[in-house]
Amino acid sequence: MPVLHNRISNEELKARMLAETEPRTTVSFYQYFAIDDPKAFRDNLYIQFDKLKVFGRVYVAKEGINAQISVPQNNFAAFKDVLFASHPALDQVRLNIALEDDGKSFWVLRLKVRERIVADGIDDDSFNLANVGEYLPADRVNQMIDDPDTLFVDMRNHYEYEVGHFENAIEVPSDTFREQLPMAVEMLQDSKDKNIVMYCTGGIRCEKASAYMRHNGFENVYHVEGGIIEYARKAKEQGLPLKFVGKNFVFDERMGERITDDVIAHCHQCGIPCDTHTNCKNEGCHLLFIQCPSCTAKFEGCCSEICREELERPREEQRERRAKRGSGIKIFNKAKGLLCTTMHLPAQEKAGSAK
């Protein structure tokens, strides 16, 4: 029986990936369809993807598959053959090719079975996932965005919206998709007579969101076909003006794809225009936030002086501190002021500093 998971350290795998000379293509795809035995489906796909040196994250559930991966370019044709043949519902499934890609997006294959490919919090047997809104190609997106009777609704998290979004799009401020769905219904209750266009990174969230809006009585519901990734690609191919402004946040090592040159976000530490996300270098924090080059140098890649100071302490002391405090949320949120919060010190250290 082959080993169906990785057994090498992340550090070694990342070093191997960075040393690769063969070009890779970063691609994402999803499909909602019924999978009777997700584990068997996952195991078979893992064996075949592993042979092709596919890296990335793939989630399989009874409701379908969701993947963000990188594939060696020499293996890309074989990868498509494997994927398209793995299930009738995946034959010729749309593949969203990354816009900005150095091939260094992932370094290991993680293929997991989950309850759902998108955690939505929906607990209603009458919900029909197949009753989705109408798909909008790039040219129709541009037509509808200037329509006063149309609302564009961003179904991504607040930190994604912050660095880039469609012109005049409505933000549904939340940390999770499961929070967004009921919030969107509540926020748009007085707009049921308007066209509602939903969008997300690659289409998976807005497709489910469009079905949820129709489930809650909204009739004129649409969603951007292929999400921001496919919209930007088609708009550029067709010479259309780009109506998405800024950067598209992506969930891999790149943390973003530049769509337009506009920088609409600001450094969370000094406030200058900046849209570069990073994770705090202090492993006891690892907060996701926006940091400019000047603040990166000043705080040594950390989110605060507290984390910078902690990072300089001996590793054993760092581990002791982490063990004695809760992890908490790791995403910057202006409303919660997480970047200004202080670290909890171990009780013994508190007592010592009070003397």
State the Cα–Cα distance between residues 181 and 177, nearest whole angstrom.
6
Structure tokens at 255: 């943390």
Residue with tokens 């993807």, as numbered in its chain: 49
Query: Beta strands 150-154 and 257-258: pairing type?
Result: unpaired
Helix, strand or coil, per DSSP, at residue 119: coil
Whether residue 61 contacts residue 35, with contact meaning beta carbons closer than 8 Å, is answered with yes
200 assigned to active site: yes
- Quick one: how many helices (H) and strands (E) in the chain? 12, 15
State the Cα–Cα distance between residues 172 and 157, nearest whole angstrom.
8
Which stretches within 165-257 are classed as H helix?
177-187, 204-215, 227-237
- Of 162, 229, 223, 234, nearest in space to 202 by CA: 229
CA 182 to each of CA 122, 195, 208, 220, 222: distance values in angstroms, whole numbers, following the listed order: 9, 18, 13, 18, 18
Structure tokens at 185: 């219904």
81 secondary structure, DSSP code: H
State the Cα–Cα distance between residues 306 and 231, nearest whole angstrom.
41
Determine which one of 200, 274, 280, 292 is catalytic.
200
Q: Which residues are catalytic?
A: 200
